[in-house]
Structure 1
Amino acid sequence: MKLKTIRRRIETPGGKMKIIILRPEKQEKPVPGILWIHGGGYVTGMAAMVFVTAGSALAKHYGAVLIAPEYRRAVKHPYPAALEDCYAALEYLYNNADELGVDRDRIVVGGESAGGGLAAAICIYARDKGEIPISFQIPLYPMLDCKDTDSSRHSHSHGWGTRRNHWGWHTYLRDLYGTDNVPPYASPSRETNYANLPPCYTFVEDGEPFRDETVTYVKNLNDAGVEAHVDVFHGNIHGFDTMRWTKNAKKARKKLIQAAEKYLK
């Protein structure tokens, strides 16, 4: 499926925000809508990363409309700026569904790394607000836990390790960092009620820092009666699926396409 790229600015609590819209060149009926959130540890990254990550692959395969927000990064704008911006993008997708040709009953939220953490946070936030239904979530190797886990405590993973992880969380949370007052909208691992969240698919490598929080998130969803699955691949590269020529990346993308079929076909 060929996609066209549209760039717009939308209103957010922080002012105008750039978004990238990917939509089919030929679109005859309402299609699923995807909010795809870029990674970067909450401190770096850009919306244009969507062109090399799984979001655009899903949009192309299923002919979906995708929105990628250029949300505020934490170096200048700590929590809750990114959450506010991403929810504003979700509102734009939902409220402009008719113009965009999107089926409001098939809205998917996903992202990778910090974008995966924001995707999970948006799902919790949207459930609690009760305004926008999300049918499926795809938080890939998500940055969910502001506290060290067994896999993140002494990590030297390629691409993201313990020192960068502490820096990212400290920059994002500021005075909340290291306290017991971090809300689940900032660090989704702090959530205690996982009921009525959207079904979930994710993957992660076993040698990267976010392995434990990813597996725990899926377990918590399952324990709450939510359909969720994680595929764990052997390796230690954070963001491994973007290395599309590797065996693990090929397997992961194939698994993702299969898992999303129920919600995006």
Structure 2
Amino acid sequence: MKISRRQFGLAGLGAAGAVALGACASRATAKPGIPSGAVAADPLTHVAPEYREAARFFIEGGPPGVDSMETLKAARGGGAAFAAPRLPDIPVSKEIIPGSIDQPDVTLYVINAKPGEKRPAILHTHGGGFILGAAEWEVGKLQGIAKELNCVIVTVEYRLAPETRFTGSVEDNYAGLLWLYNNAASLGVDQDRIALMGESAGGGHAALLAIAARDRRQVPLVLQILIYPMLDDRTGSTRQMPPYIGAIGWTADSNRFGWECFLGQTPGGPDVPAAGVPSRQTDLSGLAPAFIGVGGVDLFVSESLEYARRLTEAGVMTQFHLVPGAFHGFDFVQDAMPTKLFNKAKMNALRRAFGQPLDL
């Protein structure tokens, strides 16, 4: 299997996630708080066979991680190269809408709108560690999902950290959700069939958006799709993982930097605001049903498991899909059978929430 930059954009990882993953590909190095001798001699040992060639590509050819303003600037330079080509038969429009109170206007990309119909919709938030990526780069990938599900998708060009802290980007995303709901008729959307979806940091944003929707009681949601979500600032800072988890893809160093940029303070401390961290929320009851998917050697595997457990105990209908031996962003390896099964489960979760026939 030959892996190219273009494959990232054509895959489920999407352009924003590809930038983050490519920029943060890890070589086996010691992590803070873990003795150097504890680092696995071969970081591929715990990777599933279907993903080892891709993992080797990152280990041998990946650039340094994003863990400083200097490396962030370099990583931001090449993201557009990963974007998937757009489908000519699925309409896309760019909308600039008013932001929330005291916030600037927000740019949205609206995919597959058909006025006069009443179809389900997805509000999408892109990945990139809170510091990278662009909604515009995700359009080609999202067109394929919109076509398969016969739905509308709105993806939000939220402001990135560190230029904007979490309070600003959360409001950008909420403004997009509220606009989608209020303009349902002109978009051809059923207000009672709106879901959230995000990958990596976008999964963290989707989780925060689900909490905001519950608390503000303006937009009902049928589902939140959280794909290898970035949920807990303590991962890689005050909470260390075994050396083989997070060794490939998004690393602990990059995670600490991303959270510090997003929060505006050192992650992991006792005074971190829960409003910016889904896993620090004390009450998860009343949230939309959830689908959470993550790889077994992803840095986010433990926090995803814990969030799924807490959602379940809070009475939230939760489906959890673990892909054994898969690293962060594994789904760009489209031909791997575990990826196919994962994508099928994700799409069926959406179909079930939308009241559509399942793909059995």
In 2, Cα distance between equivalents of 1:126 and 1:253? 26
In 2, Cα distance between equivalents of 1:152 and 1:27? 51
Match 2:234 to one of 147, 150, 162: 147
Partner of 2:24: none
CA apart distance, 1:109? 0.6
In 2, Cα distance between equivalents of 1:257 and 1:97? 22
Q: What one-letter code is carried by the residue in structure 2 that aligns with 1:50?
A: E
State which drifts further: 207-216 or 171-180: 171-180
Partner of 2:106: 17
| CA gap 1:145/1:154 in 2 versus in 1, 3 angstroms | farther
Specify the structure having the higher radius of gyration (Cα): 2
Partner of 1:262: 352
CA apart distance, 1:159? 2.3
**Contact 2:293–2:320 at 8 Å: present in 1 too?**
yes
CA apart distance, 1:185? 3.1
Instruction: Output one character per residue of 1:108-137: Cα deviation in whole Å (capped at 9) or x when no partner.
Output: 011000000000001011101111111110
**Contact 1:152–1:162 at 8 Å: present in 2 too?**
no
In 2, Cα distance between equivalents of 1:39 and 1:126? 20
Partner of 2:66: none
Partner of 1:226: 316
Partner of 2:249: 159
CA apart distance, 1:155? 4.4
**1:183-222 equivalent positions in 2, closer than 5 A:** 183-222=273-312
SS at match of 2:275: coil
SS at match of 1:12: coil
CA apart distance, 1:171? 0.7
Match 1:122 to one of 185, 198, 209: 209
- The alignment of Structure 1 onto Structure 2 pairs a total of residues equal to 263
Q: What one-letter code is carried by the residue in structure 2 that aligns with 1:228?
A: T
1:136 paired to 2:201: no
| CA gap 1:152/1:256 in 2 versus in 1, 3 angstroms | farther
CA apart distance, 1:176? 6.1
Partner of 2:121: 33
| CA gap 1:196/1:236 in 2 versus in 1, 3 angstroms | same
1:7 paired to 2:94: yes
In 1, Cα distance between equivalents of 2:203 and 2:325? 19
**1:234-245 equivalent positions in 2, closer than 5 A:** 234-245=324-335
State which drifts further: 39-48 or 251-260: 251-260
Q: What one-letter code is carried by the residue in structure 1 that aligns with 2:187?
A: L
The runs of 5 or more residues in structure 1 that have no matched partner are: none
1:43 paired to 2:120: no
In 1, Cα distance between equivalents of 2:242 and 2:93? 38
SS at match of 1:192: coil
Partner of 2:151: 64
In 2, Cα distance between equivalents of 1:170 and 1:6? 34
SS at match of 2:127: coil
Identity %: 33
**1:54-133 equivalent positions in 2, closer than 5 A:** 55-133=142-220
The runs of 5 or more residues in structure 2 that have no matched partner are: 1-86
* TM-score, scaled to structure 1: 0.92
| CA gap 1:220/1:52 in 2 versus in 1, 3 angstroms | farther
**Which runs of structure 1 show a deviation greater than 6 angstroms over 4 or more consecutive aligned residues?**
none
In 2, Cα distance between equivalents of 1:157 and 1:138? 25
Q: Please, what is the CA RMSD of the aligned residues?
A: 2.1
| CA gap 1:5/1:246 in 2 versus in 1, 3 angstroms | same
